[in-house]
Amino acid sequence: MSKSIVERAYYLMKLGRVFEERAKEEYMKGNISGFLHLAIGEEAVHVGATLAFGKGDIFVHYREHVWALAKGMSPKSLMAELFGKKTGVSKGKGGSMHLYEPLLNFYGGNAIVGAQIPHAVGAAYARKYLGHTEGVLVAFGDGATNAGNYYESLNMAALWELPVLFVNENNLYAIGTRIDRASAVKELYKKAKEFMPAERVDGMDFFQVYDAVSKAKEYIETEGKPYYIEFLTYRYEPHSMSDPGDYRSPRELKVFHDKDPVEFLKREGIKRGLFDENFVKEIDERVEEEIEEAVKFALESPEPEDAELFTDIFCEVCTDVVP
């Protein structure tokens, strides 16, 4: 793995962490309304998978801020969207759960658990039909693996040999229900093994995430068939800002805080000679400035006009999506 990729990863993971910590503060101040689902603790999966996957379409769930930043969305347009402002990436109509930027091949958040999975399979079908080499990545949580459309999607992807990478973020909780109370199969990659190659990987370790997705990407592009990775990860925050999160013990939280992915990458990057303390200090300061500017931009941006409610609702002939 090159030095530049690891440096980029540290920047994006730190950016995602500080962005979400600040979004939480702004939500508590009343500047952000509606739902806000934070992915603090899951940055290694979001950044590592995005960097390794490169070109191609990405479909994700509603815990999507770090995915969007890693794919290239600006902190300003993202923060403005959370504030519901006209300058937001979805013009203030989507909010936290509906980030969307087809120019970046980011088909973003879906508010319904697992609904993005069949969408991604459809996009993979289009890619294959059109003869494109780029594949499709779809991310979903452990709770989605108990839904009916999950199995239908795996079946179609395997039957039609579609270039799609299924990324399961197993953070152990489907909203507030622990996995052993919701799923008869605890090792979730086994739910896919009959359909395609499937494996389980440590999702707190950027290096393992990047290597696993790189290998999977090569497989789906050369074989033209689907692949499945279950990443073991954890979210430090509750399901959403309206959730007290009291279903998790302090001991469990400490266990995963000790595996913090941002701190792990910082330690390993320095240990392996990929960057040094000065680089870390420089990035940390840069990120703080970028997020401060993003909040200022969001606060000062105008509200959308009422007429905006009726735009971009239906597209008969779309010019900004995969041809």
Q: Secondary structure of the chain in the HEC alphabet?
A: CCHHHHHHHHHHHHHHHHHHHHHHHHHHHCCCCCCCCCCCCCHHHHHHHHHHHCCCEEECCCCCHHHHHHHCCCHHHHHHHHCCCCCCCCCCCCHHHCCCEHHHCECCCCCCCCCHHHHHHHHHHHHHHHCCCCCEEEEEEHHHHHCHHHHHHHHHHHHCCCCEEEEEEECCEECCEEHHHCCCCCCHHHHCCCCCCEEEEECCCHHHHHHHHHHHHHHHHHHCCCEEEEEECCCCCCCCCCCCCCCCCHHHHHHHHCCCHHHHHHHHHHHCCCCCHHHHHHHHHHHHHHHHHHHHHHHHCCCCCHHHHHCCCCCCCCCCCCC
**What pLDDT score does 71 carry?**
96
**Tens digits of residue pLDDT in 200-233:** 999 999 999 999 999 999 999 999 999 999 999 9
**What pLDDT score does 314 carry?**
76
**What pLDDT score does 308 carry?**
87
Q: Which residues in the chain come in under a pLDDT of 70?
A: 316-323
**What pLDDT score does 320 carry?**
64
- The model carries a pTM of 0.95
**What pLDDT score does 134 carry?**
87
**Tens digits of residue pLDDT in 88-145:** 999 999 899 999 898 999 998 888 999 999 999 999 999 999 998 889 999 999 999 9
**What pLDDT score does 321 carry?**
63
d(CA 29, CA 36): 13
